[in-house]
Structure formats: structure tokens, C-alpha cells
Amino acid sequence: MAKILIVDDESSIRRTLREILEFEKYEVSEAGDGLDALAKVKQGGFDLILLDIKMPKMDGMEALERIRETAPDAQIIMISGHATIDTAVEAVKRGAFDFISKPLDLNRLLITLRNALDRSSLVVETKALRRKVSQAKVQEIIGESEGIRMVKTTIERIAPTDARVLVLGGNGSGKELVARWIHEKSARTAGPIVEVNCAAIPSELIESELFGHEKGSFTSAIKQRIGKFEQAHGGTLFLDEIGDMSFSAQAKVLRALQESRITRVGGEKEISVDVRVIAATNKDLRKEIQAGRFREDLYHRLAVIVVQVPSLNERRADIPLLIRHFNEQICAEYGIAPKRFEPQAITALQELNWTGNIRELRNVVERLLILSQERVVLSDVQRYVYTDDLVTS
């Protein structure tokens, strides 16, 4: 159900419009002037706003500009009993969907309202599609610090080979991005890159996930399933969080790497697979080996090349570049202009302890973009970056 805000200083007009719109099954709220409307809009959730022009405290034209900053996706229809062509043109230039003169023609109002809501739905769908397209592309590795330059150089050298790679680094440091760039710059780029999060799959299902299964091989196996190794044939298999893989699955992965063949669960036929394996973990695998939780022979199979991704705390000089990148990326997704980050705000962010690395920084930048006003200042960082999560180093 669409939410509509009626903004008019005449209570009789608001009441009449409310009755009409509620009869049409819309959810309706009211505001008596521009300031009241702005306060309600800041609480969020309106799909469309009917906005009068002549009002006390703040007129409709000023309210229009302020609302566009706060809720850029909301559709605004201006209404006025003092309409002129110049006023209507100016309202549309400032971002209004349309302009309707009083006394209101009910049929025209409802048609305009439906068209505006259709446009709002298209805007939301377009943003969702843009987000999907953006996520499908391999993002650039942002940074000029020594650690990141070394990672980029290593990728350039190892990508053209078929050598197995073990990517090490903390949660959110960018291990998946490194794996994607290795694939992108390899001779296998025309093939698929198939990702498996070993930590997210129950130990009893990991073998079926990796190698597939035959129909009837276990209770819920109602049909044949192709595993990730087969799906990645001719491309790259990315085993994320491999340190969390069960010991029994490790043995089968080792065999697959040794022989380039797999057998589906419940099957007998050996299937040849041509995959390049890139593994990643946030754990110290040598300690896991000593504790008996990881196979040493598998470690040596995987760690032909080891890439260590530095933590964000180890590359604080890259934080301004990352903030600029996320500012442009996130604002493009939301369909708004990038905001300026004041130097003091950037410095404050550089001084924080980033336990969640790049992923955490992106979340914080998105939070600041949503909650700040025209620009991001030091007080925004102090107010909106939660000290329980981030402790000054």
C-alpha cells in the first residue's frame, strides 16, 4: 500500500483529500505547513507527497527543495490555487513530478497520482538493477599503500599461470576481491568463477555441495545434482573460509586436486575436472594443522602461492581513497549526488580501529551518507559511528 503525505494549510482540503485517497486504498498522513511536512518526511516512508505552495512558516517551493534532499525517491505533486505557467515550470525544474491547479479535478488528480507512483516503482526497480549490475562487475582494488601495491603486483604475476593460490587475511579485508581479480586476469576469464563458502555449509552437506550427488544417494537426494567442481570446469573454483571445512571433506578435496577427478556422492563413475583452485581463510592454517583440524598435505597443495591481504589498520593511508570510492559507489546506487567528507571527518575515521576491515568501512560510509545532511562532518562521525564497534586506536 502506497503512503501519501498531504501538505496543505487548509484543514478542509486535507480532510477531503484524505477521504478520497483512503477510499482508493492509500495510506494517508497530513501536515499543515512546510516545516511539519519536512519533519514527517525525515521519519521516512512516503511514496508520494501532495504539496501546496502558499503556506505559512515555509512555503511549498522551499519545502520542495528541502524534501528532495531528504527523500530524493519520493514523488511530489504541487497543488495551488494561485497557479501560473511560470510557477508550474519552476516547480518541475526543482524536481516536482507535476503541478495541479485548485480547485482540484478529481479524475486528473488520481491519474497523475497513479502515474507518479508508477514512476516511483520504476525508479526503485532501476536502482535494484543497477546494484545487481554493479555487483556483477569486478570491483577495482582501491589503494596505493605498500601492502596493496604488493598484492596488485603479485596478482599480475600469478594470474596468467594455473598455480593454486591461498589468500590469507582477516574478515572483510578483500580476499574474495583478490580471488576475482586473479580469475579476471587469467586465461580462464571466459570460464566461470564458482564460489563456495565452506563456513556456511553444514559438514554433512559439504561433500554433496562440492562433488554433487546421484539420485537416491541419501534421503533427500530426489534428483541428480552437479557439484561445484563440475560447475567450475574450465574456470576457477574459489573455496572461501577453507579453514572451516570438515576433515573428511578435506581428504576428498585433496584427492580431487591430486588427480583432477571427482566422484559424486553415491556414484561410482570418476569425472575429470579442469579447475584452478583458489582458497581463502582468516585462520592461521599452521596452527590448525598443529591442532589436528587441518590436513598438512592439503595445505601444501593449496599454498603454491600465498597472498597476504593487509588489514585496514595496516593500510590507513588508503582510507581517504576508499571513502571517496564508496561515496561515489553508494550514492550512485541510491541515485543521489556524492556528499563531501570534511577533512576532519576523514582524519577521525583514519584513527579508528577497523576490526571489520573494508566491509566495516563501507558500512560506516553508507551509514554516514544516509544520516548526515549536505556534507559529512566530524560531529557526524562522533554521533553515528558506534564506539562499541569501533574503538579509537
Q: What is the pLDDT along the chain (393 residues), one digit of tens a residue?
A: 789 999 998 899 999 999 999 999 899 999 888 888 888 888 877 889 999 988 888 888 888 888 887 888 789 999 888 767 787 788 888 888 888 888 888 888 899 999 988 887 887 777 666 555 555 567 889 999 999 999 999 999 999 999 999 999 999 999 999 999 999 999 999 999 999 999 888 877 888 899 988 888 777 777 888 999 999 999 999 999 999 998 888 998 999 999 999 999 888 888 999 999 999 999 999 999 999 999 999 999 999 999 999 999 999 999 999 999 999 999 988 888 899 999 999 999 999 999 999 999 999 999 999 999 889 999 999 999 975 544 444
Interstrand relation of 98-101 and 276-281 (parallel, antiparallel or unpaired): unpaired
pLDDT tens sequence across 79-96 = 888 767 787 788 888 888
Give domain 3-135's CATH number out of 3.40.50.300, 3.65.10.10, 3.40.50.2300, 3.90.180.10: 3.40.50.2300
Whole-number pLDDT of residue 83: 63
CATH classification of 146-308 is 3.40.50.300, yes or no?
A: yes
Instruction: Please give the Cα distance from 375 to 295 (Å, whole number).
Output: 52
pLDDT tens sequence across 230-280 = 999 999 999 999 999 988 889 989 999 999 999 998 888 889 999 999 999
Sign of CA dihedral 335, 341, 345, 347: positive
Number of Cβ within a 10 Å radius of residue 342:
15
User: Phi then psi for 338, rounded to 5 degrees?
Assistant: -60, 145
Q: Are 178 and 307 in contact (CB under 8 A)?
A: yes
CATH classification of 312-384 is 1.10.8.60, yes or no?
A: yes
What value does the CA radius of gyration of the chain take, rounded to a whole number of Å? 28
Sign of CA dihedral 133, 136, 138, 144: positive
Instruction: Please give the Cα distance from 106 to 102 (Å, whole number).
Output: 10
pTM for the structure as a whole: 0.66
Fill in the DSSP letter of residue 354: -
Question: Domain locations in the chain?
Answer: 3-135, 146-308, 312-384
Q: Do domains 146-308 and 312-384 have the same CATH topology?
A: no
Whole-number pLDDT of residue 390: 47
Interstrand relation of 212-213 and 225-226 (parallel, antiparallel or unpaired): antiparallel
